[in-house]
Structure 1
Amino acid sequence: MQTKRIAAGIAALVAGLGLAACGTTSTSKAAAGTTTTVGASAATASNAADSSSSTATSALLTDNVESHAEAEDADYDTASAITITLADGASTSSSSTGVTIDADTITISAPGTYVLTGTLSNGSVVVNADAEGKVRLVLDNASITNSAGAAIDIEAADEAVVVLADGTTNTLADGTGYDTSAEDAPNAALFSMADLTIGGTGTVNVTGNTNDGIASKDGLVILDGTVNVTAMDDGIRGKDYLIVEGGTVTVGANDDALKSDNETDDTVGYVLIAGGTVTVEAGDDGVHAEGDLGVTGGTLTVQKSNEGLEGANIVIENGAVSVVASDDGLNATSGSSTDGGMGGGGMQNDGSQLVISGGTTVVNADGDGLDSNGTIAISGGTTIVSGPTMNGNGSLDSNGGITVTGGTVLAAGSSGMAEAPGTDSTSDWMQVGFSSTIAAGQTISIVSGDEVIASYTTVKEVANLVVAADGITSGSSYDVYVGGRLADATVGTYSAGGSIERASKVATVTAGQATSGGMGGPGH
């Protein structure tokens, strides 16, 4: 894989900044028609956030290794391609060069473009190509099921590309309970030891009946296409990195839905959502990165999870993120403490960072809403958190403090662990501790005189509310009403403005004052 690093001057700047910063870096290849800086979103990615930040790159992301993928990876010449027609006991190839057929095992041993069409009900396609050059597999209404292992097993290749031919629907499935215990044994329906790229405009339905759906032991990039995955363990896993540049990706997994698991150093093990539409359901984490987890464009929806997004650092620059979690919504943790404390699950600052600088982030979590074992820094975008009802968690929770310098933030939840922005925040905010909980389905409005500044309809009962939004000035008093309604333009169940017709005033608070009774946070 490529391990080209950012220039030393940029790396030094990263170390000095440590928070979101705008700038340019060396350019990596992205989906066709796009230019993407390392770790940044594709310029043409569809998103629901400030387009001005689409080329910005958080300093936390710029030291990650570059993507191997190139814009033209999914392009191919049909005239020079070899066509392999799959059929049980009767598969054929238009050329014997680089192709060996042994019963229902098709082995490809040379770089080139191979168009796969037809059906294998119990067979496999194996790639074992040592020569330099891409092996491009074009799935053209291909269906491959292998009861004894991976449907496509890329044992060796300089680089592998799976192309989903336009207008086609393809199926890959492995068997149940085959042995995956050996080191580097195939453990996914689509498995690759090499860098793997998926592109094209067709569809592939992947079922991982034993372990993962799609897995690469190197880097994995999805440029385009419709990719549907169901897996007994992880849905889509890249070891060094997993990048989604475009397309429509849907995953249902019993463990993590999207994952990168290389723990070697802080340049690998990252997940980047740079574009496309990603929808996942997970038995554990919706998206899990041993390194950085970045969202710089597109739409990411975690419909079900234990923890929604988890990484050593989490950066949301752009795009639209929606998370439902039975535990923490967003969890930034390195799993160790810089202060020699109890580690990732303790109260010490482990150096992790949760950075939100743009886009929309909507979280519904039964545990902590935004949780960092280090710091939380919000400088832009709109962030709406419907947090826990139990006092052992909070809608905002940090070990190193919360800084809000821009954007809109609303965090609702229980009162026992309620935390407010610290003294380093330059955005004005207010915190409300309700004398009695507000029931689910009620609209809470923040009012200055006759102006409704913000409204939020509760997803579950709420005892504490933190709001940072335009119209709030530290030291000024604001009335809090319950029973109104939202304005037309909403993010989640939040709107700027609204109506308090038929609503009742329940509190008056002074902006900039944290409520008593909760744990609070550093800097209070």
Structure 2
Amino acid sequence: MKNSSPRAAGSRRFGVKACTYRVLPFLVTAALLTGCTAVASTGSTGTSTSTSSDSTAVVAIDESTTAAEVLAANQETHDDDADYEWEDADVVPVTLDGDSATVDSSAAGSDAVTISGSTVTITAAGTYELSGTLDDGQIVVASTGEGTVRLILNGVEVTNSTGSALVVTEADEAMIVLADGSTNTLADTDSYAEDDEANAALYSAADLTITGTGSLDVTGNGADGITGKDGLIINSGTITVTAADDGIRGKDYLVIDGGTVTVTAGGDGLKSDNEEDATRGYISLTGGTVDVTADGDGMQAFTDVVFSGADVTVLVGGGNTATVSDDVSAKGVKSGVVTVVDGGTLSVDAADDALHSDGTVRIASGEVTLASGDDGVHADTALDIIGGSTTVTTSNEGLESMAISIGGGTVSVTSSDDGLNASSGSSTTTTQGGGGGGMDSDGGETITITGGTTVIDAGGDGFDSNGSATMSGGTLVVNGPTDSGNGALDVNGTFTVTGGTLLAAGSAGMAVSPEAGSAQSFVAIALDSVQDAGTTVQLVDSAGDVVMAFESTKEFQSVVFSSDELVDGESYSVYVGGTASTEVAAGVYADGDYSAASNSSTVTAGVAATGTMGGGGGGAGGGGPR
């Protein structure tokens, strides 16, 4: 009779592809790592390419990039449908009995099982069903031939005071099947020597797959919980890992296709750390439920982290209110090349950055909720959001990268400092004002808004580019700072608007507006005094129709508004008070009643803002000194 272990729904293999050029929709020219790690980009001057020292290929993102495409450029996993099926007649029963074990000698293949005291060694490919307890022993797989060594754990409890509880020293491939309804536990020594190769409660030097519908409880007392020195796939099962150091580590790749995985780690939660091959060292979560609590990074991949269907919760470093030392990395999710969210749910609470990449971050679909003691999302090279829901509930800076692009989805950012911050960390500051009144120079960074709905609540600058900014579509609402040392908008270079709806409210001292002469007009409203939170401001055209109504959530004195309803050079009346109706975005309304409001002033569309502290201007400036 043929038996099988059910595969997780949606699990799949990814083919190997040569690394290819994938073009960014914004100007980025920075090498990331070795191998498939440089960035190709397009800007106003065409396509530019920066490659790493070995010049083998490029990893970047464009508007068609999906999770599957990112994974397809990496090493193919060892996952194979045939591994999940076997014949009942071929199963070799092994019974663990305290300080010894027995094997059914009548079973074909039993001669591949040797027992020496409390050590059970399996030396050939085949299917072995283990049950019982080893009080202080070890299960060893040492198979030099071809084929998969399949271990069915059916009520197994193994502890080892001197090393790993289950170790695969050699095999073509290894698979652990958690028998239906079974509970299995593995626990190792509390101390390993520095030169110990096997240093996890469950250790495999070969490609390893964990599947089945039972449960596995792993305690890594001395170091890691589960370590795969090649590839590691978790297909199904209920797996709980508690580790002194890293929770689950797959050197070449770590793939979670399904099941329920819970990790508590003194080091990193999930990790893939092959530093020698640019197509390896990645983490992929395509399904299942994953819950990680870690003192180090929640997830750390030398190359890519890809989410495409799993429900993931990460708590690191004690969360966003905790303080960690400078020598500890407590980031929620960290990648060396690319982080892609293309489905599922991701919730992160981190003492440091919630999402961090030394290269690029792309959010294409799914639901992302982030709380951070530093940046909500930080990408050294580029951050691209084209869909899904992204919510930063608390942060120092919300979204930070050299190039930020939002083309779709819904984005909500709450930050104590800048909401959106386009920064390379190397912008220069001049010592003279003039022009638009700013003191900072254009550092080449960009913010590009082409679609979606973005709402910002910032304690510092709301929308801040150390370079330039463009908006051609979508909706952008900025509830900016209440102090005059920052502005709702702060753009060092040019800020042009050709489409979309922009509403930015904040303090008046550093007020900045779009570039005068932008294809889509705007108004810059400066009120005589600071208005209380909850105040309604309405913009009325010469026909008496409400063009825009805004109901603030914070104190404000400056409002910048742009939409296709404004006509350059036309005058509009500003009313304070009344009621707003027909909400089109958070706090922004298409209609209102100003009969009980007071007429504050008249503004002319297309005239740039003038900050009272030397900021503002139509794009040449961008605010005073930081």
TM-score computed with the length of structure 1 as normaliser = 0.78
> Which of 365, 379, 395 is equivalent to 2:472?
379
Aligned residue runs from structure 1 range 36-51, under 5 A: 38-40=61-63
Q: Does 1:171 align with 2:262?
A: yes
Aligned to 1:89: 158
Q: CA deviation at 1:15?
A: 5.7
Q: Which of 384, 390, 396 is the aligned partner of 1:294?
A: 384
Give the Cα separation in 2 of the matches to 1:451 and 1:7: 45
The answer on 1:188 being equivalent to 2:289 is no
Q: 1:127: which partner in 2?
A: 228
The whole-number CA distance in structure 2 between the counterparts of 1:494 and 1:365 is 17
- Which position in structure 2 is the counterpart of 1:228? 313
Structure 1 residue 212 and structure 2 residue 297: aligned?
yes
- Over 3 Å counting, the alpha-carbon distance change for 1:355 and 1:320 in structure 2 is same
CA 1:420/1:327 → structure 2, altered by over 3 Å: closer, same or farther?
A: same
User: Aligned-pair distance for 1:88?
Assistant: 5.3
Gaps (5+ residues) in structure 2? 1-15, 25-38, 49-59, 87-147, 160-164, 177-184, 189-200, 275-280, 318-329, 433-437, 622-626
2:521 alignment partner AA: D
Q: Secondary structure at the match of 2:386?
A: strand
- The reply on whether 1:360 has 2:360 as its aligned counterpart is no
Pick closer, same or farther for the CA change 1:139–1:236 going to 2, 3 Å.
farther
Report the Cα distance in structure 1 between the residues aligned to 2:156 and 2:537, rounded to whole angstroms: 63
Q: Summarize the alignment of residues 447-486 of structure 1 with structure 2, pairs less than 5 Å apart.
A: 447-448=540-541, 449-486=543-580
> Taking structure 1 as reference, are residues 275 and 346 closer, same or farther at Cα in structure 2, changes over 3 Å only?
farther
**Deviation of the 1:137 alpha carbon:** 2.0
Change (3 A) 1:444 1:337: same
Query: Structure 1 regions of 5+ residues with no counterpart?
Result: 20-36, 45-64, 176-186, 262-268
Higher mean alpha-carbon deviation, 78-87 vs 221-230, is at 78-87
Describe how 1:324-363 pairs up with structure 2 within 5 A.
Answer: 324-337=414-427, 347-363=440-456
- Inter-CA distance 464–73: structure 2 relative to 1 (3 Å threshold): farther
- Structure 2 residue 310 is the aligned partner of structure 1 residue 310: no
2:207–2:228 Cα contact (<8 Å) kept: no
Is the alpha carbon distance of 1:84 and 1:333 closer, same or farther for their aligned partners in structure 2, counting shifts above 3 Å? farther
Distance in 2 (CA, whole Å) between partners of 1:7 and 1:463 is 42
Match among 605, 608, 611 for residue 511 of structure 1? 605
- Do the aligned residues in 2 keep the contact of 1:41 with 1:275 (CA within 8 Å)? no
Give SS of 1:327's match.
coil
Residues 1:14 and 1:370: Cα distance change in structure 2 (over 3 Å): same
The answer (yes or no) to whether the contact 1:482–1:503 under 8 Å persists in 2 is yes
Q: How many residues align?
A: 456
Match of 1:181 in 2: none
What residue identity is the alignment partner of 2:452? G
Match of 1:244 in 2: 341
The DSSP-based 3-state class of the residue aligned with 1:408 is strand
Q: Given residue 144 of structure 1, which amino acid in structure 2 is its aligned partner? A: V
The one-character-per-residue Cα deviations of 1:104-123 (angstroms, maximum 9, x if unpaired) are 41122333532273212445
Matched-pair contact (CA < 8 Å) for 2:430–2:439:
no
| Superposition deviation, residue 497 in structure 1 | 2.4
One-letter amino acid matched to 2:616: G
Instruction: Report 1 or 2 for greater relative contact order, CA contacts < 8 Å, sequence distance ≥ 6.
Output: 1
More deviation, 73-82/502-511:
73-82
> Considering only aligned residues, what root-mean-square deviation do their CA atoms show, in Å?
3.5
In structure 1, what is the equivalent of residue 323 of structure 2?
none
Q: Distance in 2 between matches of 1:310 and 1:381?
A: 20
Of residues 346-355 and 482-491 in structure 1, the stretch that sits farther from structure 2 once superposed is: 482-491
Instruction: Supply the distance in 1 between the matched residues of 2:393 and 2:515 (Cα, whole angstroms).
Output: 31
* In 1, Cα distance between equivalents of 2:586 and 2:78: 36
The structure where strand makes up a greater share of residues is 2
Q: 1:15 to 1:474 in 2, by over 3 A?
A: closer
* Counterpart residue type for residue 301 of structure 2: S
User: Structure 2 counterpart of 1:4, which letter?
Assistant: T
* Paired amino acid for 1:239: G
1:115 and 2:196 aligned = no
1:11 to partner: Cα distance = 5.3
Distance 2:312 2:563 in 1: 38
- Alpha-carbon deviation of 1:260? 0.6
| Paired letter, 2:447 | L
C-alpha contact (below 8 Å) 1:420/1:514 kept by paired residues = yes
TM-score for the superposition, normalised by structure 2:
0.66
Residue pairs, 1:413-432, within 5 angstroms: 413-432=506-525
Task: Report the equivalent of 1:50.
Answer: none
Q: 1:420 deviation in Å?
A: 1.0
What is the percentage of aligned positions where both structures have the same residue? 36
- Whether contact under 8 Å (1:87, 1:118) holds in the other structure is no
2:118 corresponds in structure 1 to none
How big is the shift at 1:199? 2.9
